[in-house]
Amino acid sequence: MAGSRSLTRRTRPPSRRLAQPAALVLVAAAVAFCGWSGWTSWQAGADPRAAYAAERDQVLEAGRRHLTVLNTIDGAAAGAGLARWQDATTGPLREELAAGRERARQAVEQAGTTARAGVIEAAVTALDLESGDAQIIAAVEIEVTGPGRAASVERKRFQAGLARTGAGWKLKSFTAIPAVGE
C-alpha cells in the first residue's frame, strides 16, 4: 500500500504523558512557595515589633562592647586605651574624657596598672526609638594587675545611657550602681 497513510495514531509512551503535567505541577508549587516566602519575609520586615527587637539587640550589643572598653586599660599603652574610651562615647561623657585624657594617661602609665573587663550580664531597661535614647544595666568583671601586686578580680554593676549616633549606639552616661549593703 504505497501512498496510503496509516490510520493508526502514534501515541506517546505512558511515562512521557505523565511527566509533562507533573513538571507543571512542580513549577506551580515552586512559584507558589516563592511567592509565599517573599510575602512572609516582607510582612516580618514591616512588623514594628521586629524593628524594635532588632534595635534593642543592637543597643545591648553596643552597650556590652562599650562597657567592656571603658573598664579596660593597659598600663603600658594607656594612650591607645583612652582613645578607645573616647571612641565608645558621645556627648558630655566624651567631652569629659577628652578634657582629662592627658592626666589619666599619666596616672595609668605611672601606676602601670592593667585592667581587663568582660560583661557578665546585661539588659536593656529602656529604649526610645524616636529620640534615639536607651538605658542598660550590666554586671562587669574586671581583672586588675600591676607591678608588685597580685591579680585581683572585681565585680561591678553599672547603669549606662546610650545615644544613637551616625556611627551607631554610643555611651552618653556611665554610673556605678552600689551593691545592696554598700
For the segment 4-50, what is each residue's pLDDT rounded down to a tens digit?
555 555 555 555 555 666 677 777 877 887 887 776 776 665 677 88
User: What is the model's pLDDT at position 63?
Assistant: 97
- Nearest by Cα to 176 from 134, 139, 126, 143: 139
CB 127 within 8 A of CB 134: yes
Burial of 102-114, coded b for 16+ CB within 10 Å and e otherwise, reads eebbeebeeeebb
Which three-class secondary structure state does DSSP give residue 161? Answer: strand
Strand partners, 43: none
State the pLDDT at residue 172: 98
Residue 72: predicted pLDDT: 97
Quick one: pLDDT at residue 30? 79
- pLDDT tens digits, the chain, 182 residues: what are they? 555 555 555 555 555 555 666 677 777 877 887 887 776 776 665 677 888 999 999 999 999 999 999 999 999 999 999 999 999 999 999 999 999 999 999 999 999 999 999 999 999 999 999 999 999 999 999 999 988 888 999 999 999 999 999 999 999 999 999 877 65
Give the CATH architecture of domain 54-177.
Roll (3.10)
Cα 168 to Cα 122: distance, rounded to the nearest angstrom: 18
Residue 170 near residue 62, CB atoms below 8 Å: yes
Residues in the chain: 182
Question: What are the boundaries of each domain within the chain?
Answer: 15-46, 54-177
What residues form DSSP beta bridges with 154? Answer: 142
What was the pLDDT predicted at 42?
67
Write down the pLDDT at residue 163. 97
Q: Report pLDDT for 145.
A: 93
Residue 138's Cα: distance from chain center in Å? 16
Whether the full predicted model's pTM is greater than 0.75, yes or no, is no
